[in-house]
Structure formats: C-alpha cells, structure tokens
Amino acid sequence: MSRSPIQVPEEIKEGMEVFKDKLHAKSHHELISKLMKFHEDTQRQQWEQSQKRREEEERQKREMIQLGEKQKEIFDKIKIDMGFDEDVQVFALLYEHFMNSRTIDMITFDMYRNILNKKGY
C-alpha cells in the first residue's frame, strides 16, 4: 500500500488523537481505516434495518387489517361475549355467516348502505 501525507487542521489532529485511543489505533492511517470501516458498517446496518422495516411493513399489509381503536374494542367485546380465545375465531364465524347465510335483516342492510355511502360504522 503506497502512502501519501495529508494535511489537516490542528483541531482535527487533536480530535484524531482522542479517537486513536478510543479505537486502539496505533497510527493515523490505522485510525482512518477503522473510521472508514465503521462508516461502511454503519451504512450497511442502516440499509439492513431499512430493509427489515420494509419487509415488516409488507408482511403487515399482507397479514393484518386495521380496525381503529373503537372498532377493535367492539371486536374484542364480541370475542369475549362469544367465548372465543383468538381473533381469528371471530373472523371465521363472521366469514362463515357471510358466505352461507341466504338472508340479511333490514338493520344490517341499512348499515351496509351507510358504509357504502361513507357514513361510517
């Protein structure tokens, strides 16, 4: 490896001495190499964390639904009232009813129309 001198202000040189001790570097070029490696490792870790965050967001989009606080409270009450242990059991009941019921009462139909008209639930 060829070497070439670099000039830095005295304040930076003093700061390098502090880092040299902290990073157990024997020379300035070893310190610079360690700092460059630290920077590269940090960049890689940030990219990996960003990738993991994106993967988790994608997983949540595939596997989860957003109910909102009020609807989640209602959902939890239904789960307790029906004696279910898991959320998926409530969903399974609602899904089976939806798929297999041939009739719908007028109150439920009105609620359906309100939801379609964005008047909310």
The pLDDT of residue 4: 80
Which residue type sits at 32?
Answer: I
CA distance 12 to 31: 13
Looking at the chain, how many residues does it have? 121
The pLDDT of residue 106: 83
CA dihedral 22, 28, 31, 33 (to 10 degrees): 180
The pLDDT of residue 119: 64
The pLDDT of residue 3: 76
**74 in Cβ contact with 89 (< 8 Å):** no
Which residues have a Cβ under 8 Å from the Cβ of 45 and sit 6 or more positions away? none
The pLDDT of residue 8: 84
Which residue type sits at 120?
Answer: G
Per-position pLDDT tens, the chain of length 121 = 677 888 889 999 889 989 898 999 999 889 999 999 999 999 999 999 999 999 999 999 999 999 899 999 999 999 999 999 999 999 999 899 888 888 888 888 788 788 888 766 5
